[in-house]
Amino acid sequence: MKKLINRAEDVVRESLEGFAAAHADLIRVNFEPAYVARRDAPVNGKVGVVSGGGSGHEPLHSGYVGMGMLDAACPGSIFSSPTPDQMLEASKAVDGGAGILHIIKNYTGDQMNFEMAAELGRAEGLEIDSAVIDDDVAVTDSLYTAGRRGVGLTVLAEKITGAAAEERRSLKEVANICRQVNSWGRSMGMALTSCTVPHIGHPMFDLPENEMEIGIGIHGEPGRKRLPIQSADEITAMLMEPVIQDLPYRAGDRVLLFVNGMGGTPLSELYIVYRQALSIAKGHRLNVERSFVGSYITSLEMAGCSITLLKLDDTLIRLWDAPVKTPALRWGI
Amino acid sequence: MPLQTIDKGAIVRWLTACADSIAANREYLTKLDAAIGDGDHGVNMDRGFKAVVVKLSAGAEMDIPQLMKSAGMTLISTVGGASGPLYGTFFLQAAQVCAGKAELTLADWIAMLKAAMNGIMARGKASAGDKTMLDALAPAVQALEDAAAQVHSTAGALALSACAAKAGMSATEPLVARKGRASYLGERSAGHLDPGAASMYLLLKAAAETLASR
Ligand SMILES: Nc1ncnc2c1ncn2[C@@H]1O[C@H](COP(=O)(O)OP(=O)(O)OP(=O)(O)O)[C@@H](O)[C@H]1O
Ligand SMILES: [Mg+2]
């Protein structure tokens, strides 16, 4: 294992310390229990939008705390859900009197920890609602699985939901916007290489030099199938087609096209993927009205990408374009 | 002869033994979880039970329900993952059932484990055969109830429940996971023991080794 770290057990804390110091103008960090909150939280009369999950997906979620996006984020250990005490304290710290929305990626651990936090919070008089993100078409959604995983769409949901909260909409409306994003968005990812969790010390799985894994999650979980490596154009088609078929996205739909890097893939390659994804979208006569390219939800140093499509209407476009000022996402101001 | 009761000292010894056993099996649990999950179960459980033991030494004046509640709250805030809330719920539900008791009878212990099991089912919405920790716990509860009906010794009943937990754990190997991270693997989850069933067996085995000895 070759990593820019000190001790494996200090990775999450030391990274958070650096993050706190680097972005002190936008956020503040609480360490016991660990959460990141907007510098100006609580914002009076605004729904507090709180998310969280395992670390290792940076800039998700802490990088998206700030005006126009999240009010707080709870970082867990690497690839492991944070705990209810973090979520409870974060929720209390950003409660501006209009209620709290928890945005939860659909993993058993995250779900149960957020559920306990909501029970504890309600017992203390907080108003808490939740919305789940489960956009990964690689997982069959059935009674026999934990359901689809929350992946790339999470970033878009946090941006749009945060903008809705910034418009001072009610908790019910903000939650419904988030659910609408979830029902209109789909993703699929692939890996060229595995990744190494520092305290484990070796790669999560073996992926030989000439193979790739299609349908990967964001924790190095295995995907749908393992195939010999192919060209960027062929790989892009393997991701785009199942995503388009799933909703399905239909001719004339207005969409946002998001090509995400998994952490170890250069931006130049993501644009090669974007170029082909756009051409496939056009082939299906989708109107790509917004695009988003970069490594925004990652899996440590894994090489690979994911593609997310989100159907848009005027409201979602306005909320996507609305100003945002966070450590990792900033526009409109 | 009345059945042997379980006093506070025994509960302290049990919790300490749980921590020792989890620590000794940290790599084993991690390896099981790496095969069908994300490889964090041993590390998460070890962190949690180490914290439980720290609280034990600070809480000399706690009674049995307080010890159980403290263990539950500590696990919830230190373990994370799926097993944090599940094991936290296990101890919190058990604590509620023994409220006000200075000593536990075998019947109390059975009621506690049963409440713990129901709590885990309510939290995780899993049922028997889903390849989870429940597959070790449910047969252990059943074995205790059967043993109690035949007026066994407390030690004997606990030993039978540990045996049943072990059999339940082993029986998870061929199963296809339907809950938690392992369910993403579908058919590929068969052929591996469930890590949560393995840790549950360790806790129940520790109970058999400590609760009925003075
Ligand atoms: N819904 C459930 N009900 C009961 N037990 C479950 C459930 N889901 C998972 N488990 C148990 O939890 C164990 C895994 O625990 P672990 O702490 O490793 O969780 P995890 O899935 O890795 O969490 P996270 O996704 O946050 O990393 C499984 O082996 C299984 O026994
Ligand atoms: Mg795990």
pLDDT in tens, B132-189: 999 999 999 999 999 988 877 999 999 999 999 999 999 999 999 999 989 888 888 9
Which of A150, A106, A80, A302 is CA-nearest to residue A213? A302
Ion ligand 2: residues, Cβ under 5 Å: B 33, 37-38, 40-41
Span(s) in chain A for CATH 3.30.1180.20:
185-322
Alpha helices in A191-252, H assignment, sequence order:
232-246
Predicted local confidence at residue A225, as pLDDT: 84
Check CB contact under 8 Å for B85 and A139: no
| 3-class secondary structure, B204 | helix
Task: Enter the pTM of the model.
Answer: 0.93
Q: Does A146 touch chain B (CB under 8 A)?
A: yes
Reported as type and span, the H/E element at residue A81 is none
Quick: pLDDT tens for B11-60: 999 999 999 999 999 999 999 998 898 888 999 999 999 999 999 988 78
Predicted local confidence at residue A223, as pLDDT: 72
Q: What class is the A11-182 domain?
A: alpha beta
- Structure tokens given for A234: 């062929």
Span(s) in chain A for CATH 3.40.50.10440:
11-182
The CATH code of the domain that includes B154 is 1.25.40.340
Neighbour-count burial of B23, counting CB atoms closer than 10 A to its CB (0-12 exposed, 13-18 middle, 19+ buried): middle
Q: Does A81 touch chain B (CB under 8 A)?
A: yes
Q: How far is B80 from chain A (nearest CA, A)?
A: 5
Contact list in A for residue B82 (CB cut-off 8 A) is 81, 108-109, 112
- Structure tokens given for A325: 């000022």
Q: Which fold, A185-322?
A: Hypothetical Protein Tm841; Chain: A;domain 3 (3.30.1180)
Predicted local confidence at residue A187, as pLDDT: 97
Q: Which of A74, A79, A83, A108 to mutate to test the pocket of ligand 1 (most atoms within 8 A of CB)?
A: A108
Residue of A nearest to B48 (CA): A83
ipTM, two decimals, is 0.88
Check CB contact under 8 Å for A81 and B82: yes
Ligand 1 residue neighbourhood (C-beta within 6 Å): A 79-81, 107-109; B 33, 37-38, 40-41, 44, 81-83, 86, 120, 124-126, 132-134, 179-181, 194-197
Q: How many domains does chain B have?
A: 1
- DSSP percent split of chain A into helix, strand, coil, nearest 5: 35, 25, 40
Catalytic positions of A: 57, 219
The DSSP output letter for B60 is T
> What band does A103 get if pLDDT is binned at 50, 70 and 90?
very high
Write out the residue range of the structural domain in which residue B206 sits. Answer: 6-210
> What band does A142 get if pLDDT is binned at 50, 70 and 90?
low
C-alpha span between A320 and A65 (Å, rounded): 16
Contact list in B for residue A80 (CB cut-off 8 A) is 38, 40, 44, 80-81
Q: Does A1 touch chain B (CB under 8 A)?
A: no
User: Given the DSSP bridges, would you call strands A287-294 and A225-228 parallel, antiparallel or unpaired?
Assistant: unpaired
Q: Indicate whether B156 belongs to any domain.
A: yes
CA of B82 to the centre of ligand 2 (A): 7
Question: Given a cut of 70, is residue B70 above it in pLDDT?
Answer: yes
C-alpha span between B158 and B147 (Å, rounded): 9
